[in-house]
Structure 1
Amino acid sequence: MWQRVEKILKDEGLSVYELSKKTGIPDNTLRNYRLKHSDPSFTNACKIADALGVSLDELRDRSVI
């Protein structure tokens, strides 16, 4: 999921810090998703998708299924 988030951030010219401010999710938490390759909770995934203006389906990694 995080690879898709990073692509959107890059395309939109946003930083992790700015995403943190938009979502209310601490930037440390967002960085941990990236560095540890862990997935956010459903609530945080919704906040991220909303802040980026995309659906959860667009963030989903279909290779996991």
Structure 2
Amino acid sequence: MDIERVDLYKMLWNSIQVQLDKQNMTAYRLSKMTGIPLTTIYNYKNDGKEPPFKNMCKIADALDVSLDVFRERR
């Protein structure tokens, strides 16, 4: 995977982190609410791994936000 793509997914995680912070929620709690393993959540956070659309839907639902919140705006 190229550096630009990893940076893109890290920016996506930053958007998720903003929502987690707003709701005072931990990655552990997000994992429990979504059924996504905590190690997978940390792979998104730390390694810039691409979350599949299905998991992004679960994350958006758990955070009670639209998927549009995670779109990069230029």
Per the normalisation by structure 1, the TM-score is 0.89
Verify: 1:24 aligned to 2:35, yes or no: yes
Q: 2 CA distance for matches of 1:35 and 1:44?
A: 16
Segments of 4+ in structure 1 off by > 4 A? none
Instruction: Please identify the structure whose Cα radius of gyration is greater.
Output: 2
- Which sections of structure 1, spanning at least 5 residues, go unmatched? none
Number of positions where the alignment pairs a residue of Structure 1 with one of Structure 2:
63
Per the normalisation by structure 2, the TM-score is 0.79
Please give the root-mean-square deviation of Cα atoms over the aligned residues, in Å.
1.0
Q: 2 CA distance for matches of 1:39 and 1:55?
A: 18
Q: 1 CA distance for matches of 2:73 and 2:45?
A: 18
